Structure 1
Amino acid sequence: MDGTTDVNAQPSIRSRGLRYPKAAFMTPAIRTALRKDTYENTMVTACSRTALPEDTVLDIGAGIGAVSATLAKQQNVKMVHAVEANPELAAYLTKMFAMNGIENAGVIAGTLGARKSTADFYVRKNPSMSSLVEREETTASKVEKIDVLNAKALIKELSPTVVIVDIQGSEADLVPQLDLSGLRAAVVKLHPKWIGPEGVNAVFAAMMQAGLNYNARGSSGKVVSFRRAWPTA
């Protein structure tokens, strides 16, 4: 019996036409949102409105794959590179893609930074709250060492046309480090509570410096979309 058959036999939750393998880390809230087709709804909608079939997508902070799988399976984008710092979720993504027969998406375990190194990753009971940042209000259940990949080198290697960022308050540090010059569009989930107005401004400044303009159609609340060109019609 091959690995794909084993994965397909696992219990799963169906959401928006996709199957999510059941996992111990899934909180009741995550399971309910998946069953109601509302899990990461704002982010999925924004990215679906932004990405095109010809795009190569770099999804930084892919989580359990809601955005990556939607773009790869349902919008059939050229390729999705799903970056996930949480080791447990990185392994989960591989199973999730296999369960859904997704071949135009791959998993990159680790996070991005200015140079290749390692970093502490704070794993919390709710995986969506796990991050590179230690916070008193959300105590980590454990701390793991993860790989930090050179952001500029990875973007040069993969040549994405769309970058998606959802990294729980680290966006203000990472986005200005990225080479955004070759992008057609980008989507960033902001966390103002943690990065403050200065962090929000840093994200917008990096996008504007790269020639990427705020895209209202792909934005909603804390999820902001940017694109280089405007439709002529």
Structure 2
Amino acid sequence: MADGEFETFEIDGAELRIPSGQLNDRLRGRLKDQGYEHFERDLARAHLRPGDRVLDCGSGAGLVAIVAARIVGAENVTTVEANPEMHDALRRNLRRNAGEGLRLIKGAVVPDDYAGDSVTLNLRGAFWAASLGETKGKGMRPVEVAAKRFGRLLAKREATVLTMDIEGAEAALLLAPLPASIRLVIVELHPNLYGEDTRDKILASLTAQGFRDLEARRTEEVYAFGRGD
């Protein structure tokens, strides 16, 4: 349903209102046919459990965070979103579908050794195309957003689960060891942005840390890795 300024979609019983200017035809189609974040939602439902504390990096419209909140409780979910043009709509989506306890952090997740308090985010059309990596392209609009250091977020939120869809920026984060407290990682990788060799290094790094691939069959680059049980 559209009211000109916003469009409304219902997925898994969640009502998402998204600014029309943050949509394109492909994203609109994925939202209408329930395909948006389909793999991440399925993996969250399959592998999250009560007692988990979730750090969700790259919230987008908030759907994965909402699904997680239904399983572990809103107070146990923190979601991070860099795109400032989505923050107001995202906050309303989270409140409408998950209550007041779910925490939203505004900014982009960066490595702990990142120098500076802000980082350039490149916006391009639909909200799911915002990226820290690409600097050129038709319609690219750079904006400065707060830099949120990965290790500090994990420690402060006492996370045990990491969900991540940050359009290529995961390569700078997942090649370093994760804290021992992290038992589950659900991530979309983007080898189209950094190459298959880097993708394979990320997978090898997780394996070396004791994670195992929980879903060997896939049609997209969305993974669930677990360890410790």
Q: What range is the shorter-chain TM-score in? A: 0.7 to 0.9
CA-atom RMSD, angstroms?
2.2
What SS class does the counterpart of residue 152 from structure 2 fall into?
helix
Question: Whole-Å Cα distance in 2 between the matches of residues 72 and 221 of structure 1?
Answer: 24
- How much has 1:26 moved relative to structure 2? 2.3
Question: Whole-Å Cα distance in 2 between the matches of residues 202 and 121 of structure 1?
Answer: 25
Question: Is the Cα contact below 8 Å between 2:58 and 2:79 reproduced in 1?
Answer: yes
Question: CA offsets, 1:174-226, max 9 Å, x none?
Answer: 22346332111111101111121221123223322332222126965311111
The equivalent residue for 1:16 is 12
Structure 1 79/107 Cα, relative in aligned 2: closer, same or farther at 3 Å?
Answer: same
Question: Is the Cα contact below 8 Å between 1:123 and 1:131 reproduced in 2?
Answer: yes
What SS class does the counterpart of residue 120 from structure 1 fall into?
strand
Question: Is the Cα contact below 8 Å between 2:18 and 2:61 reproduced in 1?
Answer: no
Kindly report structure 1 stretches of 4+ aligned residues shifted beyond 6 Å: none
- TM-score norm. by structure 1 comes to 0.84
* One-letter amino acid of the counterpart of residue 206, structure 1: S
Question: Whole-Å Cα distance in 2 between the matches of residues 121 and 11 of structure 1?
Answer: 24
Output aligned runs, 1:22-41, within 5 Å.
Answer: 22-24=18-20, 25-41=22-38
Question: Whole-Å Cα distance in 2 between the matches of residues 140 and 177 of structure 1?
Answer: 33
- How much has 1:57 moved relative to structure 2? 0.6
Question: Whole-Å Cα distance in 2 between the matches of residues 48 and 220 of structure 1?
Answer: 18
Aligned residues: 219
The percent identity for this pair of structures is 23
Question: Whole-Å Cα distance in 2 between the matches of residues 59 and 219 of structure 1?
Answer: 21
Question: Whole-Å Cα distance in 2 between the matches of residues 71 and 219 of structure 1?
Answer: 21
* One-letter amino acid of the counterpart of residue 159, structure 1: E
Question: Is the Cα contact below 8 Å between 1:63 and 1:84 reproduced in 2?
Answer: yes
* One-letter amino acid of the counterpart of residue 44, structure 1: R
The equivalent residue for 1:146 is 145
Question: Is the Cα contact below 8 Å between 2:177 and 2:209 reproduced in 1?
Answer: no
Question: Whole-Å Cα distance in 1 between the matches of residues 198 and 45 of structure 2?
Answer: 25
Output aligned runs, 1:129-168, within 5 Å.
Answer: 129-136=129-136, 138-168=137-167
What SS class does the counterpart of residue 19 from structure 2 fall into?
coil
- TM-score norm. by structure 2 comes to 0.85
- How much has 1:51 moved relative to structure 2? 1.3
